[in-house]
């Protein structure tokens, strides 16, 4: 039996399923491993089941020459050096599609919470400060009928556009590396604009682009300066896309009304300034965290691992491989 490692705690039924096919070492205690410990655990193993939190880089690959497949239960794969894996003929898979609608729901919820000041008003109430009704008590921004801006128009961006245009009567503008075709734009009710126009026009801006060197600090002081002071910014993509210090300053000075953040630079550590601002809603990277979706993500990672390394009729094309060419390379 081939040996695989499941690097983080995961649903027991996924471990059981993998156990039918492989000799599985797991981390059901969810111990925090250093990279050296991960390398150590990977010795002699051909496959690894990871999440978005384990760094799979050239150093690790060189130290684990038996590794043939890295299967992640995240859609984003900025923690995996795909080129280094491909160069060493290590198959990589991610977990797209199964989390699209759930993540779009959460992006919308976070945007609405920021716009309508839900977290801020709840803290006020819990602190016993609610003594009387007031005409402008926690009066925030409208969502329906306003302009929704989306930066990054992949599957999740499109699911958010549908919610905005068809559910909330919003004018939807977007910017993306590549423009969608006219039919898709019309179906979504979304209009392509330059990044600068997007920043200027959006009443509510949601970030859904992948993270990499090209998107590092895609939203910094200069970009924030273009936004309306009444606007909100929601980041459900990755920490590092927003310059958190510049955002905290803009929120503090009310050059931006509010923000909803699910991801942070250097998470799980947070910029202390963010914790003290009233006009930001903070959540711990949970946009995909509905139970059915997390199960589907984990099952998809297991499907990929079984197809990549399983034998006989279990072997096959991993459903969501990022570099399927490594299998064809013989």
252 catalytic? Reply is no
76 sits near ligand 8YV (criterion: CB under 6 A): yes
* Rounded distance between C-alpha atoms, residue 203 and residue 264, angstroms: 22
Cβ neighbourhood burial of 286 (10 Å; 0-12, 13-18, 19+): middle
7 sits near ligand 8YV (criterion: CB under 6 A): no
Stretch that binds ligand 8YV, among 59-67, 72-80, 160-168, 240-248 (CB under 6 A): 72-80
* Rounded distance between C-alpha atoms, residue 18 and residue 213, angstroms: 35
216 catalytic? Reply is no
Which of 114, 199, 102 minimizes the C-alpha distance to 151? 199
Considering the complex, state which of residue 232 and residue 235 has its C-beta at the smaller distance from ligand 8YV. Answer: 235
The CA-CA-CA angle for residues 296, 104, 107, to 5°, reads: 125
Stretch that binds ligand 8YV, among 67-75, 132-140, 179-187, 274-282 (CB under 6 A): 67-75
State the residue for tokens 């199964």.
Answer: 98
Considering the complex, state which of residue 29 and residue 313 has its C-beta at the smaller distance from ligand 8YV. Answer: 29
The alpha carbon of residue 260 and the mean position of all alpha carbons in its chain are separated, in whole angstroms, by: 14
Which of 61, 44, 49 minimizes the C-alpha distance to 2? 44
Stretch that binds ligand 8YV, among 21-29, 74-82, 169-177, 266-274 (CB under 6 A): 74-82
Considering the complex, state which of residue 91 and residue 199 has its C-beta at the smaller distance from ligand 8YV. Answer: 91
DSSP, collapsed to helix, strand or coil, labels residue 50 as strand
Per-residue binding string, ligand 8YV, 227-266, x by CB under 6 A, is ----------------------------------------
Per-residue binding string, ligand 8YV, 33-62, x by CB under 6 A, is ------------------xx----------
144 catalytic? Reply is no
Q: Which pair of tokens denotes residue 232?
A: 């909100």
Q: Which of 223, 238, 294, 299 is catalytic?
A: 238
* Rounded distance between C-alpha atoms, residue 81 and residue 180, angstroms: 28
Binders of ligand 8YV in range 123-142 (CB under 6 A): none
300 sits near ligand 8YV (criterion: CB under 6 A): no
The sheet carrying 171-175 orders its strands as 190-192, 171-175, 147-151, 204-207, 232-235, 258-261, 280-282
Q: Which residues bind ligand 8YV (CB under 6 A)?
A: 51-52, 73-76, 99, 285, 288
Q: Which residues are catalytic?
A: 238, 267, 285
């Amino acid at each position: 039996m081939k040996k695989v490692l499941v690097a983080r705690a995961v649903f027991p039924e996924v471990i059981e399923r993998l156990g039918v096919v492989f000799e599985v070492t797991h981390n059901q205690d969810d111990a925090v491993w250093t990279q050296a410990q991960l390398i150590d655990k990977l010795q002699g193993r051909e496959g690894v089941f990871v999440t978005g939190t384990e760094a799979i880089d050239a150093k690790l690959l060189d130290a684990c020459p038996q590794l043939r497949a890295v299967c992640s239960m995240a859609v984003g794969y900025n923690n995996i050096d795909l080129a280094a894996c491909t160069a060493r003929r290590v198959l990589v898979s991610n977990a797209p599609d199964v989390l699209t609608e759930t993540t779009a729901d959460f992006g919308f919820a976070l945007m609405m919470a920021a716009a309508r000041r839900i977290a801020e008003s709840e803290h006020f109430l819990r602190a016993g400060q609610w003594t009387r009704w007031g005409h402008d008590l926690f009066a925030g921004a409208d969502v329906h009928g306003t302009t929704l801006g989306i930066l990054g128009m992949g599957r999740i961006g499109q699911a958010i556009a549908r919610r905005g245009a068809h559910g909330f009567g919003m004018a939807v503008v977007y910017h993306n590396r590549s423009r969608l075709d006219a039919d898709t734009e019309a179906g979504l009710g979304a209009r392509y604009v330059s990044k600068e126009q997007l920043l200027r026009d959006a009443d509510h801006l949601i970030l859904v682009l992948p993270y990499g060197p090209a998107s590092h600090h895609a939203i910094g002081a200069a970009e924030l300066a273009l936004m309306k002071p009444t606007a909100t910014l929601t980041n459900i993509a990755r920490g590092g896309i927003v310059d958190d210090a510049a955002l905290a300053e803009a929120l503090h000075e009310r050059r931006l009304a509010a923000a909803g953040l699910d991801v942070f630079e250097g998470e799980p550590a947070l910029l202390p300034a963010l914790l003290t601002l009233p006009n930001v809603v903070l959540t711990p990277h949970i946009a995909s965290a509905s139970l059915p979706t997390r199960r589907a993500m984990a099952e998809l990672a297991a499907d990929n691992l079984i197809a990549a390394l399983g034998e006989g009729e279990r072997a096959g094309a991993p459903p969501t491989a990022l570099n399927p060419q490594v299998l064809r390379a013989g």
